[in-house]
Amino acid sequence: MNNLTDINVIKALLKKHGFTFSKALGQNFLINPSVAPEIAECGNAKPGFGILEIGAGIGVLTKELALRAEKVAAVEVDGRLIPVLKETLAWYSNVTVINEDVMRINLHDVIKEHFTGMDVAVCANLPYYITSPVIMMLLESRLELKSITVMVQKEAGIRLCAKPGTREAGAVTFAVRYYSEPELLFNVSRESFMPSPNVDSCVIKLNIRDSSNWNVSDEKLYFKTVRGAFSQRRKTLANSLSSSLGIEKQKVISVLKTLAFTESVRPEQLSMDDFIKISDSLYS
């Protein structure tokens, strides 16, 4: 089996199949030989696990997942890569490649069809143009996942794994934490990819929580409050909530005061429990 992180091997393979990179599809393939094995090791690729990969590329991570996990289902939207993957993954009988857009396919059906009786985890080097939508779709659709281990742009990873109450926290921080316990695992330099992107990357792991972890009266209103709070980052919480949710400012201020927050509190100063209390009180 050829080394899929060797630039000459990749060039020959892509030339043979007449493949050229698509920037629009976020095609930056891994060429650092240590990264794909590390993602697989950290990402629950082991016996008893079915691994869902998003964006197989030429199969460099797929192969590492197949070596360790019970089964792998790899979703790849670019039909031009399917014959390439047929060639590079020919030796791995536990891999199914699915030529679909991950945002359109029914992943509940994929899991039912390929991973019955197994624990399931997601591992991927995500296309950066849809990092947050993919992660939120995976979390919100409440797939039965143990973990999501993904490579993302470094800045996105910092925000996704930020601790509530810190400057880096944003709406996505509170959304991700609602469903999971996030961990920033390691950084990956831009030279680890072909072609090399303009930014560095990092690998994060979201350990999926039990759904009963938070005591929220209405999930939808919680997320609406979080999004509203961060919709105008320079404003105070009272101003952002009032203008984005269409609630009178005096009512917002009185709710905040009842909960012992000052009028000038900012959303990035709050914890998960603070947001839950505020959303429960605002709509009660």
For ligand SAM, the binding residues (CB under 6 A) are 25-30, 54-57, 60-61, 75-78, 81, 101-103, 125, 127, 130
Smaller CB distance to ligand SAM: residue 77 or 255?
Answer: 77
Minimum separation from the CB atom of position 6 to ligand SAM (A):
13
8 A C-beta contact, residue 54 and residue 126? yes
Question: Which residue's CB is nearer to ligand SAM, number 73 or number 272?
Answer: 73
Least separation in angstroms between CB 40 and ligand SAM: 11
Cβ closer to ligand SAM: 200 or 263? Answer: 200
Contact by Cβ (8 Å): 280, 250: no
> How far, in Å, CA of 104 to CA of 41, rounded?
28
For residue 40, with 0-12 CB atoms within 10 Å meaning exposed, 13-18 middle and 19 or more buried, which class applies? buried
Query: Whose Cβ is closer to ligand SAM: residue 132's or residue 173's?
Result: 132
- Check if the beta carbon of residue 13 is closer than 8 Å to that of residue 44: no
- The distance of closest approach from Cβ of residue 207 to ligand SAM in the complex, given in angstroms and rounded to an integer, is 22
* Closest separation in Å from C-beta 92 to ligand SAM: 15
Residue 176 DSSP SS3: helix
Cβ 116 to ligand SAM shortest distance, Å: 23
Rounded Cα distance between 240 and 245, Å, is 8
Query: What residue number has its CB nearest to ligand SAM?
Result: 55
Residue 33 or 165 having the CB closest to ligand SAM: 33
| Six-digit token string for 104 | 């359109």
Distance between CA 264 and CA 190 in Å, rounded? Answer: 40
